[in-house]
Structure 1
Amino acid sequence: MSGWWTIISTETPQQLADMTKVNKEALLATWEAGLFGADWIAQLCAQGKATQLTFNGFPNRYTASADVIVPLLQAGIAEAQEGEFPQDTLTGWPGSITVHPQRIAACAPGQLLSIEVWDQS
Protein backbone atom coordinates (compact mmCIF):
# COMPACT_ATOMS: atom_id res chain seq x y z
CA MET A 1 0.00 0.00 0.00
CA SER A 2 1.46 3.35 -1.03
CA GLY A 3 0.10 6.34 0.73
CA TRP A 4 0.14 8.53 3.79
CA TRP A 5 -1.32 8.51 7.30
CA THR A 6 -1.93 12.01 8.67
CA ILE A 7 -2.37 13.01 12.31
CA ILE A 8 -3.29 16.54 13.38
CA SER A 9 -3.02 17.41 17.07
CA THR A 10 -2.98 20.30 19.49
CA GLU A 11 0.07 18.76 21.18
CA THR A 12 3.52 20.14 20.44
CA PRO A 13 5.72 18.19 18.01
CA GLN A 14 7.84 17.08 20.98
CA GLN A 15 4.81 15.76 22.86
CA LEU A 16 3.47 14.02 19.77
CA ALA A 17 6.86 12.41 19.08
CA ASP A 18 6.48 10.14 22.12
CA MET A 19 3.71 7.91 20.79
CA THR A 20 3.52 6.08 24.14
CA LYS A 21 2.30 9.27 25.83
CA VAL A 22 0.04 10.76 23.16
CA ASN A 23 -2.97 12.53 24.61
CA LYS A 24 -5.81 11.13 22.52
CA GLU A 25 -8.00 14.06 23.59
CA ALA A 26 -5.56 16.36 21.74
CA LEU A 27 -6.13 14.64 18.38
CA LEU A 28 -8.20 16.70 15.96
CA ALA A 29 -8.20 14.40 12.94
CA THR A 30 -6.46 11.38 11.44
CA TRP A 31 -6.80 9.85 8.00
CA GLU A 32 -5.15 7.69 5.41
CA ALA A 33 -4.83 8.75 1.79
CA GLY A 34 -3.18 7.58 -1.39
CA LEU A 35 0.06 8.45 -3.14
CA PHE A 36 -0.64 12.19 -3.42
CA GLY A 37 -2.24 12.44 0.01
CA ALA A 38 0.56 14.62 1.41
CA ASP A 39 0.50 17.20 -1.36
CA TRP A 40 -1.86 19.47 0.59
CA ILE A 41 0.68 20.07 3.37
CA ALA A 42 3.52 20.52 0.87
CA GLN A 43 1.38 23.18 -0.83
CA LEU A 44 0.86 24.96 2.49
CA CYS A 45 4.63 24.91 3.11
CA ALA A 46 5.29 26.34 -0.36
CA GLN A 47 2.83 29.14 0.43
CA GLY A 48 4.54 29.86 3.76
CA LYS A 49 1.45 28.75 5.70
CA ALA A 50 3.08 25.67 7.31
CA THR A 51 6.59 24.77 8.47
CA GLN A 52 8.22 21.40 7.89
CA LEU A 53 10.29 20.23 10.88
CA THR A 54 11.35 16.73 9.73
CA PHE A 55 11.19 15.05 6.35
CA ASN A 56 12.23 11.39 6.55
CA GLY A 57 8.68 9.99 6.19
CA PHE A 58 8.70 8.28 9.57
CA PRO A 59 7.14 10.75 10.17
CA ASN A 60 7.29 14.03 8.29
CA ARG A 61 6.49 16.66 10.94
CA TYR A 62 4.94 20.05 10.37
CA THR A 63 3.39 22.90 12.30
CA ALA A 64 0.74 25.32 11.11
CA SER A 65 -1.63 27.78 12.69
CA ALA A 66 -5.19 26.79 13.45
CA ASP A 67 -6.20 29.73 11.21
CA VAL A 68 -4.91 27.69 8.26
CA ILE A 69 -5.77 24.12 9.27
CA VAL A 70 -9.18 24.46 10.94
CA PRO A 71 -11.02 25.70 7.81
CA LEU A 72 -9.62 22.75 5.83
CA LEU A 73 -10.71 20.25 8.47
CA GLN A 74 -14.14 21.83 8.77
CA ALA A 75 -14.58 21.66 4.99
CA GLY A 76 -13.77 17.92 4.94
CA ILE A 77 -10.75 15.69 4.60
CA ALA A 78 -9.79 15.30 0.97
CA GLU A 79 -6.86 13.87 -0.90
CA ALA A 80 -4.71 16.52 -2.57
CA GLN A 81 -5.10 16.71 -6.32
CA GLU A 82 -2.63 18.71 -8.39
CA GLY A 83 -1.38 20.57 -5.34
CA GLU A 84 -4.84 21.71 -4.25
CA PHE A 85 -6.78 20.64 -1.18
CA PRO A 86 -10.32 20.21 -2.53
CA GLN A 87 -12.57 21.57 0.18
CA ASP A 88 -15.83 20.08 -1.03
CA THR A 89 -15.10 16.38 -1.49
CA LEU A 90 -14.39 13.73 1.13
CA THR A 91 -11.96 11.35 -0.57
CA GLY A 92 -9.89 9.73 2.16
CA TRP A 93 -9.84 5.96 2.13
CA PRO A 94 -13.18 4.56 3.40
CA GLY A 95 -13.08 3.79 7.11
CA SER A 96 -9.81 5.61 7.62
CA ILE A 97 -11.04 9.09 8.54
CA THR A 98 -11.50 10.18 12.16
CA VAL A 99 -12.54 13.78 12.78
CA HIS A 100 -13.39 15.43 16.10
CA PRO A 101 -15.51 18.49 15.13
CA GLN A 102 -15.91 19.84 18.68
CA ARG A 103 -12.16 19.76 19.31
CA ILE A 104 -11.52 21.41 15.94
CA ALA A 105 -14.05 24.16 16.67
CA ALA A 106 -12.43 24.78 20.08
CA CYS A 107 -9.04 25.70 18.56
CA ALA A 108 -7.96 29.29 19.14
CA PRO A 109 -7.25 31.22 15.90
CA GLY A 110 -3.49 31.62 16.50
CA GLN A 111 -2.99 28.21 18.11
CA LEU A 112 -0.07 26.22 16.69
CA LEU A 113 -1.05 22.71 15.58
CA SER A 114 1.20 19.73 14.95
CA ILE A 115 0.83 17.67 11.80
CA GLU A 116 2.49 14.28 11.33
CA VAL A 117 2.43 12.58 7.95
CA TRP A 118 3.63 8.98 7.98
CA ASP A 119 4.82 7.24 4.80
CA GLN A 120 2.92 3.94 4.44
CA SER A 121 4.89 2.49 1.56
Structure 2
Amino acid sequence: MLGWWTVISTETLAQRALPGGGNKEAILATWEAGLGGMDWIVDLCKQGKAEQHSFNGYPNRFTALASEITPILAQGIPDGTMRDFHGKGPVGWKGSIKVHQDRITACAPDQLLTVEVWDQS
Protein backbone atom coordinates (compact mmCIF):
# COMPACT_ATOMS: atom_id res chain seq x y z
CA MET A 1 0.00 0.00 0.00
CA LEU A 2 1.22 3.47 -0.80
CA GLY A 3 0.21 5.82 1.96
CA TRP A 4 0.52 6.62 5.63
CA TRP A 5 -0.19 5.15 9.06
CA THR A 6 -1.04 7.84 11.62
CA VAL A 7 -0.73 7.52 15.39
CA ILE A 8 -1.87 10.31 17.74
CA SER A 9 -0.67 10.03 21.32
CA THR A 10 -0.53 11.92 24.59
CA GLU A 11 3.09 10.82 24.98
CA THR A 12 5.93 13.27 24.45
CA LEU A 13 8.26 13.06 21.46
CA ALA A 14 10.94 11.50 23.68
CA GLN A 15 8.55 8.86 25.04
CA ARG A 16 7.34 7.92 21.54
CA ALA A 17 10.95 7.60 20.33
CA LEU A 18 11.86 4.99 22.96
CA PRO A 19 12.52 1.45 21.68
CA GLY A 20 9.39 -0.66 21.95
CA GLY A 21 6.89 1.93 20.79
CA GLY A 22 5.54 3.54 23.91
CA ASN A 23 2.37 3.22 25.96
CA LYS A 24 -0.66 1.81 24.13
CA GLU A 25 -2.97 3.45 26.69
CA ALA A 26 -1.68 6.88 25.58
CA ILE A 27 -2.87 6.41 21.99
CA LEU A 28 -5.89 8.51 21.04
CA ALA A 29 -6.33 7.32 17.45
CA THR A 30 -4.68 5.37 14.64
CA TRP A 31 -5.55 4.97 10.98
CA GLU A 32 -4.12 4.15 7.56
CA ALA A 33 -4.64 6.49 4.64
CA GLY A 34 -3.59 6.94 1.03
CA LEU A 35 -1.02 9.31 -0.45
CA GLY A 36 -2.79 12.51 0.63
CA GLY A 37 -3.42 11.20 4.12
CA MET A 38 -0.83 13.46 5.75
CA ASP A 39 -2.14 16.71 4.24
CA TRP A 40 -4.27 17.63 7.26
CA ILE A 41 -1.32 17.83 9.69
CA VAL A 42 0.90 19.57 7.14
CA ASP A 43 -1.88 22.16 6.73
CA LEU A 44 -1.93 22.70 10.52
CA CYS A 45 1.84 23.31 10.37
CA LYS A 46 1.41 25.86 7.58
CA GLN A 47 -1.17 27.65 9.75
CA GLY A 48 1.24 27.70 12.73
CA LYS A 49 -1.01 25.32 14.70
CA ALA A 50 1.40 22.36 14.69
CA GLU A 51 5.16 21.85 14.50
CA GLN A 52 7.03 19.23 12.50
CA HIS A 53 10.03 17.66 14.28
CA SER A 54 11.12 14.91 11.85
CA PHE A 55 10.34 14.35 8.21
CA ASN A 56 11.98 11.15 6.99
CA GLY A 57 8.78 9.06 6.98
CA TYR A 58 9.99 6.61 9.63
CA PRO A 59 8.17 8.41 11.17
CA ASN A 60 7.30 12.00 10.43
CA ARG A 61 6.74 13.48 13.91
CA PHE A 62 4.61 16.49 14.75
CA THR A 63 3.30 18.13 17.91
CA ALA A 64 0.17 20.21 18.37
CA LEU A 65 -2.05 21.26 21.24
CA ALA A 66 -5.04 19.08 21.98
CA SER A 67 -7.23 22.12 21.28
CA GLU A 68 -6.18 21.83 17.61
CA ILE A 69 -6.30 18.04 17.26
CA THR A 70 -9.21 16.84 19.39
CA PRO A 71 -11.93 18.76 17.46
CA ILE A 72 -10.69 17.07 14.28
CA LEU A 73 -10.79 13.65 15.92
CA ALA A 74 -14.20 14.36 17.46
CA GLN A 75 -15.62 14.77 13.94
CA GLY A 76 -14.50 11.23 13.15
CA ILE A 77 -12.11 9.96 10.53
CA PRO A 78 -14.02 9.07 7.38
CA ASP A 79 -12.96 5.90 5.63
CA GLY A 80 -11.33 6.20 2.21
CA THR A 81 -14.54 5.24 0.41
CA MET A 82 -16.36 8.29 1.78
CA ARG A 83 -13.92 11.15 1.28
CA ASP A 84 -11.51 12.52 -1.28
CA PHE A 85 -7.86 12.17 -0.25
CA HIS A 86 -7.36 15.90 -0.83
CA GLY A 87 -10.01 17.00 1.69
CA LYS A 88 -9.38 19.23 4.69
CA GLY A 89 -9.39 16.55 7.39
CA PRO A 90 -7.81 13.17 7.99
CA VAL A 91 -8.94 10.25 5.88
CA GLY A 92 -8.60 6.54 6.64
CA TRP A 93 -8.98 3.17 4.96
CA LYS A 94 -12.18 1.33 5.76
CA GLY A 95 -11.60 -1.04 8.66
CA SER A 96 -8.27 0.39 9.80
CA ILE A 97 -9.54 3.31 11.89
CA LYS A 98 -9.28 3.13 15.69
CA VAL A 99 -10.46 6.10 17.75
CA HIS A 100 -10.54 6.10 21.57
CA GLN A 101 -13.18 8.77 22.26
CA ASP A 102 -12.89 8.45 26.05
CA ARG A 103 -9.16 9.29 25.87
CA ILE A 104 -9.79 12.16 23.47
CA THR A 105 -12.43 13.64 25.78
CA ALA A 106 -10.03 13.40 28.74
CA CYS A 107 -7.39 15.62 27.07
CA ALA A 108 -6.93 19.13 28.44
CA PRO A 109 -6.98 21.78 25.68
CA ASP A 110 -3.40 22.87 26.51
CA GLN A 111 -2.01 19.31 26.45
CA LEU A 112 0.68 18.78 23.82
CA LEU A 113 -0.03 15.77 21.61
CA THR A 114 2.37 13.86 19.41
CA VAL A 115 1.33 12.92 15.88
CA GLU A 116 3.39 10.28 14.09
CA VAL A 117 2.86 9.62 10.41
CA TRP A 118 4.65 6.51 9.12
CA ASP A 119 5.41 5.92 5.43
CA GLN A 120 3.67 2.70 4.32
CA SER A 121 5.37 2.34 0.93
Same fold (TM over 0.5): yes
Kindly indicate whether residue 18 of structure 2 is the aligned counterpart of residue 18 of structure 1: yes
Say if 2:84 is the partner of 1:84: no
Deviation of 1:69 (Å): 0.1
Q: Structure 2: which amino acid aligns with 1:108? A: A
Matched with 2:28 is 28
Partner in structure 1 of residue 99 of structure 2: 99
SS of residue matched to 2:30: strand
Q: TM-score, normalized by length of structure 1?
A: 0.90
Quick one: distance in 1 between partners of 2:96 and 2:84?
Answer: 16
- State the identity %: 62
Structure 1 residues without counterparts, runs of 5 or longer: none
Equivalent residue pairs, number? 117
**Consecutive aligned runs of 4 or more in structure 1 exceeding 3 Å deviation:** 78-83
RMSD: 1.6
Any conservation in 2 of the 1:37–1:80 contact (CA below 8 Å)? no
**SS of equivalent to 1:36:** coil
The alignment status of 1:6 with 2:12, answered yes or no, reads no
1:46 is aligned to 46
Give, in whole Å, the separation in 1 of the partners of 2:114 and 2:28.
10
List runs of 5+ in structure 2 lacking aligned partners. none
- Distance in 1, matches of 2:106 and 2:19, equals 23
Residues 44-98 of structure 1: CA deviation (Å, up to 9, x unaligned):
0000000000000000000000000000000011467436117xxxx51111111
- Taking the TM superposition and a 5 Å limit, the aligned residue runs for 1:38-77 are 38-77=38-77
